[in-house]
């Protein structure tokens, strides 16, 4: 019998209007949007449903918005299907932890709001950047990043997403040099990304330090389901280990490809992506075409899944 993993998307999956169908049709879902507004002390739900897009795209808003929508969608299916593992991409790791009972929802919303604020303010605007590198060899790209860091400015692997897709992060000068020299690592294309900072790099150390102080005050429980961590691509369940990994996550690469490979090697043959969009479904399929991937990204998709499981 194959195993099931729930996976939750990170920043970039957001769209204005996401989750509105859940808010309108599900009492349990609606309650989460209201709790998020209360926890933050402002109407996050208005920004999610009506925008403007520029406001939703602010990291400090995007992070609690995606967490709320993902967990509202989870409400629609959680009684019908239980995961053997959970995982999330960057911010999505917090959705996974809330789904596994590690973090209470209201606390999770506040923590990711703070995380977003810390990440936005860690590096002055224009000094940091990120780029997607397509088609490069991972080891060669890591070596190129090291060489560039010594010459132009710090640049590091940030997201190892799937074979042939790696995101790098660092100083604006370091990223410019990777854009110029990507072919040395076998890259077909290097695409600068529209982001507000050099996420998942050592430049995020000020954000990690501030987040650590917040996490020390938060009540974390041991996980009911193994959570495969971004930093290690290995399962973790103890609250104290999770606390340390969440601080480290801000300055470490997201080992998403390694996470999916580990899950498949340990019997997962069905992935259910819970949250807006289908980004993770695409990355999983590029890692292994043979596994089944379903995206629960709307009220309709959740109803279809529940129907199939009847």
- Active-site residue 89, yes or no? no
Cis omega (within 30 of 0) on the bond before 47?
no
Residues 6+ apart with CB under 8 A from 123: 197, 198, 203, 204, 206
Catalytic-role residue among 90, 169, 196, 201: 90
- Say how far apart CA 36 and CA 174 lie, in whole Å: 38
- Taking residue 126's Cβ as centre, other Cβ atoms within 10 Å add up to 7
Alpha-carbon dihedral 268, 273, 279, 285, rounded to 10 degrees: 30
Report how far Cα 76 is from the mean position of its chain's Cα atoms.
21
Quick one: 237 exposed, middle or buried, by C-beta within 10 A (0-12, 13-18, 19+)? middle
- Active-site residue 200, yes or no? yes
Extract the tokens encoding 228: 């495969």
Hey, which residues does 7 pair with through a beta bridge?
87, 273
- Phi then psi dihedrals of residue 208, to 5 deg: -60, -40
Report how far Cα 159 is from the mean position of its chain's Cα atoms.
10
- Answer whether 18's CB lies under 8 Å from 99's CB: no
Hey, which residues does 155 pair with through a beta bridge?
170
Alpha-carbon dihedral 22, 24, 25, 28, rounded to 10 degrees: 70
Catalytic-role residue among 70, 89, 200, 295: 200
Cite the active site residues: 90, 200
């Amino acid at each position: 019998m194959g195993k099931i993993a729930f996976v939750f998307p990170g920043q970039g999956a957001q769209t204005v209007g996401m989750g509105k169908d859940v808010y309108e049709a599900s009492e349990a879902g609606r309650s989460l949007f209201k709790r998020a507004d209360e926890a933050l002390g402002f109407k996050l739900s208005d920004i999610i449903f009506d925008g403007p897009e520029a406001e939703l795209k602010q990291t400090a808003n995007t992070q609690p918005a995606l967490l709320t929508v993902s967990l509202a969608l989870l409400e629609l299916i959680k009684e019908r299907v239980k995961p053997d593992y959970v995982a999330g991409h960057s911010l999505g790791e917090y959705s996974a932890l809330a789904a596994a009972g590690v973090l209470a929802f209201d606390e999770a919303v506040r923590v990711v709001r703070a995380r977003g604020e810390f990440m936005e303010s860690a590096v002055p605007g224009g000094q940091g950047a990120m780029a997607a590198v397509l088609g490069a060899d991972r080891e060669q790209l890591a070596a190129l990043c090291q060489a560039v860091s010594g010459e132009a400015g710090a640049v590091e692997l940030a997201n190892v997403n799937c074979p042939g897709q790696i995101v790098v992060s660092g100083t604006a000068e370091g990223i410019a040099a990777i854009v110029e020299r990507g072919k040395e690592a076998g890259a077909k294309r290097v695409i600068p990304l529209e982001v507000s900072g050099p996420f998942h790099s050592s430049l995020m150390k000020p954000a990690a330090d501030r987040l650590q102080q917040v996490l020390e005050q938060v009540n974390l429980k041991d996980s009911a389901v193994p959570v495969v961590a971004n930093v290690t691509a290995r399962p973790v369940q103890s609250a104290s280990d999770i606390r340390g990994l969440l601080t480290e996550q801000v300055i470490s690469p997201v080992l998403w490809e390694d996470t999916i490979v580990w899950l498949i090697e340990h019997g997962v043959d069905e992935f259910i992506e819970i949250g807006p969009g289908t980004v993770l479904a695409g990355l999983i399929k590029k890692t292994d075409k043979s596994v089944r991937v379903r995206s629960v990204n709307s009220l309709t998709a959740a109803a279809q899944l529940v129907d199939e499981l009847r």
